[in-house]
Amino acid sequence: MSVARDQFNTMFGRDPYSIPLDEYDMNQPELFQSDTQDAYFTRLRKEAPVHYCKDSEHGPYWSVTRYKDIMEVESNPEIYSSEPSIALADPEPDFDISMFIAMDEPKHGDQRKTVQDIVAPSSLASLEPVIRERIAGILDTLPVNETFNWVDKVSIELTGQMLATLFDFPFEQRRKLTYWSDVATAIPEPGGLVETREQGRDILLNECLPAFVELWNQRVNEPPKGDLISMLAHGKETRDMNPMEFMGNLVLLIVGGNDTTRNSLSGGVKFLNENPDQYAKLMADPSLIPTMVPEIIRYQTPLTLMRRTATQDTVLGGQNIKKGDKVAIWFLSGNRDEEVIDRPNEFIIDRARPRQHLSFGFGIHRCMGNRLAEMQLRVTWEEILKRFEKVELVGKPERAYSVLVRGFTEMPVQLRPKAK
Amino acid sequence: MTKITFVKHDDEEIVVDAENGTSVMNAAVDNLVPGIDADCGGECACATCHVYIDEAWFPKVGNTNDAEEAIMSLNPDRQETSRLCCQIPVTDEMEGLKVRLPEFQF
Ligand code: HEM
Ligand code: FES
């Protein structure tokens, strides 16, 4: 951990009720890496559901922690802008990549419409058999009764193959996509994936961008086809994008579709192992997979928050928010809000309304890939259940050092094959 | 109770009894009408309750509100008589209402 971060690591390991509320700052990766954030959020939801943090690594910001208040923010994009950034950190002046997740209307809608055909139901239907085949291919080569890291061998491999398919990216180079995605979200730290912000920026600008520009140049001269690069190269609203916008949309689609799905694939294994009654229920009735999948996504909440910026003075939950203030909407907290979700701290694979969760956000920015993500998870679990009696967790999972991305780096498992 | 007909994209008709005071979305969900997922539970925030209103009926079901317009306008398959049916209250005047279920929601 860097010295700069050290001074902001003020909450970890402390009793949530011993810290004065006005010293609360949830933007601390240590809390999420140790998976100890929930107790702090519980207190915020009860005592200060719209909470002002007067100083943090990224300056002052509001935390919105109740489901209903988050919904209100999501439903009023003209008051709560997605510009200039959906992360608490402001964009750097010399690396202002722009993506439609961080744009307001009308530009956001224009760009989103250009690419959303890739996730139209008809596209998903034709993708499904391809995905199933690739998943089967991965599962069939896994060792049985032998410890391995599920994150690397399954979750990363699968989402990497998926991305390569969506972009029609050279298949044998697919791990590069995973790498760039990780670089784009990495918190710089000594010994980390990137040590400085500049290093991360340089990797994206000097490696990722040129690789995609080359693909763009290829596709722009070919007739339009169904992959994302071709869609961007031929789309009316996107074909004249400048390099930073192109870069932004690539990073958005790579990151959006990558570690979110990856971490849900890992999370599911953990949750089923921690809840043997639910695992037994699933094995007895595989038709529960479609309701289990959104529950995994709720329980995992792969992106913990989005940031908005107030465009005017406003009132939320009785608090006066000023024009220009940063507002963090904490999906992870809203997904544990007992006022809206029944027994929110429990993992229950047959909930009545499993899609009532905030993990995909809501409103005009609601995750464009939500049905694709669900489909990947559903097909994966269908194929797992065909082959294995149990994916058994045999050690302690390790979590990522991040606030925004809630995920795993290690998940030691052994597979128990089905009796033939 | 008010009778509402949902027409699937393959023209199959599903007739349900809707309770006044709820929404057309509730009527669909309560009767397991396929293709109305209603992820957000009627908050006008997910657009998974999109329907095409029968033309003759369109003027009678009320106006599209701003939030609804904003989220529907992102959909390339949006039509002139598109509505998010969680925003349509069920009243006596709706007796016989006919709405089509878009193919893209299946
Ligand atoms: C379990 C997996 C996933 C989760 C949890 C997730 C989560 C999210 C969240 C929280 C947002 C922001 C929503 C908001 O601001 O209200 C978002 C936006 C987005 N996601 Fe996902 N995502 C997932 C998978 C995917 C996949 C597979 C794709 C690939 C197509 C994708 C593409 C996008 C895009 C393009 C946006 C921007 C939408 C906009 O601003 O209009 N996501 N996602
Ligand atoms: S149910 Fe979500 S918009 Fe109607």
ipTM: 0.92
- Let me know: does A34 contact A399? Beta carbons within 8 Å: yes
User: Measured in angstroms, how far is the CA atom of residue A67 from the centroid of ligand 1?
Assistant: 18
Q: Which helix (H) or strand (E) holds A4?
A: helix A3-6
Judge whether A35 lies within some domain. no
Q: Give the CA diameter of chain A.
A: 65
Helical segments of B4-101, H only: 24-30, 66-72
Find the domain containing A209 and state its range: 45-417
Half-sphere exposure of B66 (CA within 13 A, CB side): 4
What is the count of structural domains for chain A? 1
Backbone angles phi, psi at A416, to 5 degrees: -105, 115
Query: A238-252: per-residue pLDDT in tens?
Result: 788 887 778 888 888
Looking up residue A143, the CATH number of its domain turns out to be 1.10.630.10
Mean pLDDT of chain A: 92
Give A356's contacts in chain B (Cβ within 8 Å). Answer: 39-41
Task: State how far the Cα of A377 lies from the Cα of A383, in Å rounded to an integer.
Answer: 10
Peptide bond preceding A129 in cis form (omega within 30 of 0): no
Average pLDDT over residues A26-38: 96
- Which residue of chain A has the CA closest to B76? A113
Peptide bond preceding A354 in cis form (omega within 30 of 0): no
Task: State how far the Cα of B98 lies from the Cα of B88, in Å rounded to an integer.
Answer: 13
* CATH class of the region B2-93: alpha beta
> Torsion angle, CA of A101/A106/A107/A113, rounded to 10 degrees?
80
Domain boundaries, chain B: 2-93
Q: Which-ligand-closest: CA of A355?
A: 2
Q: Is A257 in the pocket of ligand 1 (CB under 6 A)?
A: yes
Judge whether A37 lies within some domain. no
Average pLDDT over residues A26-35: 96
CB burial of residue A127 (10 Å; 0-12, 13-18, 19+): buried
- Which pLDDT band, with edges at 50, 70 and 90, does A1 fall under? very low
Given this model, what pLDDT does residue A320 score? Answer: 98
- Which pLDDT band, with edges at 50, 70 and 90, does A95 fall under? low
